[in-house]
Amino acid sequence: MSEAAFINSENTLPRHVAIIMDGNGRWAQQKNKPRHSGHKAGVEATRNIIQECARRGIEALTIFAFSSENWKRPKSEVNLLMELFLTALQRELSKLHKNNVRIRFIGNTSSFPEKLQKKISHASDQTAGNTGLNLTIAAGYGGRWDIVESVRAIVDEVKAGKIDPNDITEESISAHICLSGIPEPDLFIRTGGEKRISNFLLWQLVYTELYFTDILWPDFDVSAFDQALNAFSVRQRRFGRTAEQIETKLNNGRL
């Protein structure tokens, strides 16, 4: 097979990047610092990657800030994460809005502190009309929760007579799932060395290219992001087609 068949023929730059930002705690441990210092350093890394996505013209970025399983962590760490989340929103919102970034949140935030819930709602409302980078923050989120919520919404529509059960399709489920309305992720990045998706965007990642790195999140800089993007650019995205079909369409200039 020729080298051309391995090239990501659809686009060398992903439209949508999804990231599990893992390794804050281990980063702090390696430096003999408290865990909260790792989370603070992680916020700085997040800011840099958001800026880089906006600069490159990437359409959407989804980051896993707090999973539904993170509630199992020590209460002191959860409280610190909530405080850090609120502080980061208060500090960054104005700049993100000024740079035309649209912020939205996915997940069950009902157990978050009331002040944080209000700030989340305010950030979503204030940036709703922005047309730049779509920044989605998954907070209190779980992929299985996402699918269950979609099913519940469809069941309600069936009960109301709005839809026939026989008409339920992948498309109708996708329309109710989180991230509907923006392209599904093209590239998934997980830092920190773990090689799993940890209940993140289970429905949406079906054809996403997966990229894992041992770099801990606070150390994930623009150079590391470049490596991930370069790896994506040489992936062959078949979407069920054969390599021969891809190469033929490449040669015919159809992809």
Sorted by where each starts, the structural domains of the chain and their CATH numbers stand as: 3-251 (3.40.1180.10)
Which contiguous run of DSSP H or E holds residue 20?
strand 16-20
Q: Tell me the HSE value of 233 on the side-chain side, using a 13 A CA sphere.
A: 8
The reported pLDDT for the residue numbered 237 is 74
pLDDT grade, residue 12 (50/70/90)? confident
The predicted model gives 37-47 an average pLDDT of 95
The reported pLDDT for the residue numbered 129 is 97
Q: How far is CA 57 from CA 27, 52, 112, 201, 226, in A?
A: 30, 9, 32, 23, 14
pLDDT grade, residue 5 (50/70/90)? very low
Q: What is the pLDDT of residues 146-164, one digit of tens each?
A: 999 999 999 999 999 999 9
Q: What is the pLDDT of residues 27-36, one digit of tens each?
A: 999 999 999 9
Q: How far is CA 78 from CA 36, 40, 92, 183, in A?
A: 10, 14, 21, 31
Name residues whose C-beta falls within 8 Å of residue 133's C-beta, 6 or more positions apart in sequence. 50, 53, 54, 58, 59, 60, 61, 99, 100, 101, 102
Angle in degrees, CA 139, 142, 145, rounded to 5: 120
Token pair for 169: 């399709």
Task: Give 62: exposed, middle or buried? Use CB within 10 Å, 0-12, 13-18, 19+.
Answer: buried
- The bridge status of strand 60-67 relative to strand 102-106 is unpaired
| Phi/psi of residue 63, nearest 5 degrees | -120, 140
Angle in degrees, CA 112, 114, 116, rounded to 5: 65
Q: Tell me the HSE value of 30 on the side-chain side, using a 13 A CA sphere.
A: 12
**Active site members:** 22, 70
The reported pLDDT for the residue numbered 207 is 94
| Cα 65 to Cα 75: distance, rounded to the nearest angstrom | 17
Q: What is the pLDDT of residues 172-223, one digit of tens each?
A: 999 999 999 999 999 999 999 999 999 999 999 999 999 999 999 999 999 9
User: At 198, is the secondary structure helix, strand, or coil?
Assistant: coil
